[in-house]
C-alpha cells in the first residue's frame, strides 16, 4: 500500500507514530509522513531544524515532509498559534503533493486541527481518510485548558464534530471514546477500537546507575512521562505529606521523571509541604533510560485528574508500565482503572483523593514480595497479549484491508 500519514508530531519528538510508520515501511508499504518542525514538549524548535533545514528527509525508509509552524512556546496564545499554523501550512502543502496515495491516515493527537490537511488531500484526491484518535476532541481541549465560556465551547464542539464527520473510518485508542463519537452523529460501524502499543523493553536493557535508586532502601514508586496539569500530580505531593504526618513504618520514595508545564509548580509545592526529601524529580531521559528506571522501581504510578474526560482515557504510559512488568498504582477512574483491574496488575485509588492514595501506597509498600511479583507478572502477561507493536501493526493493517472491502 501507498500511505500518506499525517501527524503534527514525529521523530525526534517522543511519539509512537514514528515507530508505527517505520514498521509499516518494513512490511513493504510506501509511507510518506506530513508533519511539523519538531518543538514538543519544550516549545522550542529542536537544534538542527528550522523553516529551511531538514524539511525533506528519509528516516527508516519513511519519507518525511516537514511543514513550517510556529513553536508551542510556553503561553496559551503561542500554543494556539502552533495548532493553527500546522493546520494551515499542512493543508496548503498537502494540496501541493501530486503523488496519489491509497489512503490518508491521520494519527490524531491534540489538536484535532491536525486532521485538516488530511481532509484537504482526501477530498482533493477523492480517496479514503482514516483517522486514529488518541485525544478525543473537543473534550480534551475543553478540560485541559479549563474552558468555561459556552460560546467558545460551542465553536470548538462544532469544529470537532465537522472534522470527525469528514473521515471515512476511524479507530480509537480507548473504548470510552466510542459513545461520545456516536453522539456526534457518527455511525458505530465506522468506529473500531485499537489500543496503543508499547515498545518491549526486554532485550534492549541498558545498565544505568542512578543514585536515587542505588543508594536507597525505600519503596520506590515512579511516574514517567509528561508533567502537565492534566496529570494532577499535586495529589502525589499531598499523599506524601499525609504519609509523612502518619509517621508509619513504611519508607516510600516517589520518583517523578520527565518535564512539562506543571513541573516548576510541583517542585515549589514539594518544598512548601516539606516533602522534597521523599518526592524526587528527574529530568526527561531517553526511552531506554526510562525503561531502566521503571523496571528497577518497586511500582509504577499512573495518575490522572478527576474528570469525565480522563475516565474515558487510557494513557500510553499504562502500556509502558505493563511492558516493564511492574506493579501499578493506578490513580485514575474509568477505562484505565478497568484495564488494571482486568489484568490484576496492581491497585486502584480514586483520582484526586490524597488520603486514599496515601493509604493505598502504604498498603502496597507493605505487601509481600510474592504478591508484588504476581502483580508484576500479570502486568507483563497482559501486555504480551494486548499491547505489543506486532499486535498493534496487525490491527492497523486490518483496518486498512477491511475498510478497503467495505463501501462507505
Domain ranges of the chain: 2-197+388-404, 211-386
Contact between residue 346 and residue 340 where contact means Cβ atoms under 8 Å apart: yes
Confidence (pLDDT) at 232 = 87
> For residue 184, how many other CB atoms are within 10 A of its CB?
14
Q: What is the pLDDT of residues 146-205, one digit of tens each?
A: 778 899 999 999 999 999 999 999 999 999 999 999 999 999 999 999 999 988 887 665
Under a CB-based contact definition with an 8 Å cutoff, are residues 86 and 8 in contact?
A: yes
Separation between Cα atoms, residue 32 and residue 98, nearest integer Å: 12
* 3-state secondary structure string across the chain: CEEEEECCCCCCCCCCHHHHHHHHHHCCCEEEEEEECCCCCCCCCCCCCECCECCEEEECCEEEEEECCCCCCCCHHHHHHHHHHHHHHHHHHHHCCCCCCCEEEEEECCCHHHHHHHHHHHHHHCCEEEEEECCCCCHHHHHHCCCCCHHHHHHHHHHHHHHHHCCCEEEECCHHHHHHHHCCCCCHHHEEECCCCCCCCCCCCCCCCCHHHHCCCCEEEEEECCCCHHHCCHHHHHHHHHHHHHCCCCCEEEEEECCCCCHHHHHHHHHHHCCCCCEEEECCCCHHHHHHHHHCCCEEEEECCCCHHHHHCCCHHHHHHHHHCCCEEEECCHHHHHHHHHHCCEEEECCCCHHHHHHHHHHHHCCCHHHHHHHHHHHHHHHHHHCCHHHHHHHHHHHHHHHHCCCC
Angle value at C-alpha 328, between 327 and 329, nearest 5 degrees: 130
The yes-or-no answer to whether 2-197+388-404 and 211-386 have a common fold is yes
pTM: 0.83
In this prediction, residue 216 carries a pLDDT of 66
> Mean pLDDT across the chain, nearest whole number?
90
Average pLDDT, consecutive stretches of 10 residues, N- to C-terminus, the chain (408 residues)? 96 94 96 96 91 89 96 90 96 89 95 97 94 93 80 93 96 94 94 92 63 70 88 92 79 92 91 92 88 93 87 90 96 93 96 94 94 96 95 93 62
Backbone angles phi, psi at 80, to 5 degrees: -65, -40
What residues pair up with 50 in beta bridges, in sequence order? 53
d(CA 54, CA 57): 6
User: What pLDDT was estimated at residue 44?
Assistant: 93
> What architecture is the 2-197+388-404 domain classified under in CATH?
3-Layer(aba) Sandwich (3.40)
Residue 101 backbone phi and psi in degrees, to 5: -110, 160
Superfamily in which the 211-386 domain is placed by CATH: Glycogen Phosphorylase B; (3.40.50.2000)
- Which is nearest to 278 in space by CA: 218, 362, 225? 218
**For position 230, what pLDDT does the model report?**
75
Cβ atoms 196, 134 nearer than 8 A: yes
Amino acid at each position: 500500500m501507498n500511505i500518506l500519514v499525517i501527524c503534527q508530531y514525529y521523530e525526534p519528538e517522543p511519539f509512537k507514530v514514528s515507530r508505527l510508520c517505520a514498521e509499516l515501511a518494513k512490511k513493504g508499504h510506501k509511507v510518506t509522513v506530513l508533519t511539523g518542525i519538531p518543538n514538543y514538549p519544550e516549545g522550542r524548535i529542536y537544534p538542527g531544524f528550522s523553516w529551511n533545514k531538514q524539511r525533506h528527509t528519509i528516516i527508516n525508509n519513511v519519507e518525511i515532509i516537514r511543514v513550517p509552524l510556529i513553536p508551542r512556546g510556553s503561553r496559551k496564545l503561542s500554543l494556539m498559534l502552533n495548532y493553527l499554523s500546522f493546520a494551515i501550512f499542512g493543508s496548503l502543502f498537502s494540496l501541493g503533493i501530486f503523488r496519489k496515495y491509497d489512503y490518508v491516515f491521520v494519527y490524531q493527537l491534540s489538536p484535532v486541527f491536525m486532521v485538516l490537511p488530511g481532509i484537504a488531500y482526501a477530498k482533493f484526491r477523492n480517496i479514503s481518510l482514516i483517522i486514529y484518535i488518541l485525544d478525543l476532541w473537543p473534550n480534551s481541549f475543553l478540560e485541559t485548558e479549563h474552558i468555561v465560556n459556552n460560546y467558545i465551547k460551542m465553536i470548538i464542539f462544532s469544529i470537532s464534530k465537522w472534522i470527525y464527520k469528514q473521515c471515512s473510518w476511524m479507530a480509537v485508542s480507548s473504548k470510552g471514546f466510542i459513545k461520545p463519537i456516536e453522539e456526534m452523529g457518527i455511525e458505530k460501524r465506522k468506529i473500531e477500537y485499537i489500543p496503543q502499543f508499547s515498545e518491549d523493553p526486554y532485550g534492549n536493557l541498558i545498565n544505568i546507575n542512578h543514585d536515587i535508586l542505588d543508594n536507597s532502601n525505600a519503596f520506590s514508586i515512579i511516574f514517567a512521562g509528561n508533567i502537565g496539569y492534566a496529570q494532577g500530580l499535586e495529589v502525589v505531593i499531598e499523599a506524601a505529606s499525609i504519609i509523612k504526618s502518619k509517621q508509619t513504618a513504611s519508607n516510600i520514595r516517589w520518583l517523578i521523571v520527565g518535564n512539562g508545564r506543571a513541573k516548576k509548580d510541583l517542585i515549589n509545592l514539594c518544598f512548601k509541604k516539606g516533602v522534597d526529601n521523599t518526592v524526587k524529580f528527574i529530568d526527561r531521559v531517553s526511552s531506554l533510560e526510562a525503561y531502566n528506571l521503571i523496571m528497577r522501581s518497586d511500582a509504577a504510578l499512573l495518575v490522572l485528574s478527576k474528570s469525565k474526560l480522563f475516565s474515558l482515557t487510557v494513557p500510553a504510559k499504562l502500556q509502558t508500565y505493563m511492558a516493564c512488568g511492574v506493579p501499578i498504582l493506578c490513580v485514575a477512574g474509568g477505562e484505565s482503572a478497568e484495564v488494571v483491574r482486568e489484568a490484576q496488575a496492581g491497585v486502584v485509588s480514586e483520582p484526586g483523593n490524597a488520603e486514599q492514595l496515601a493509604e493505598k501506597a502504604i498498603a502496597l509498600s507493605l505487601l509481600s514480595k510474592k504478591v508484588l511479583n504476581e502483580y508484576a507478572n500479570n502486568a507483563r502477561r497482559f501486555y504480551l497479549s494486548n499491547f505489543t507493536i506486532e499486535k498493534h501493526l496487525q490491527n492497523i493493517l486490518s483496518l486498512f484491508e477491511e475498510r478497503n472491502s467495505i463501501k462507505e
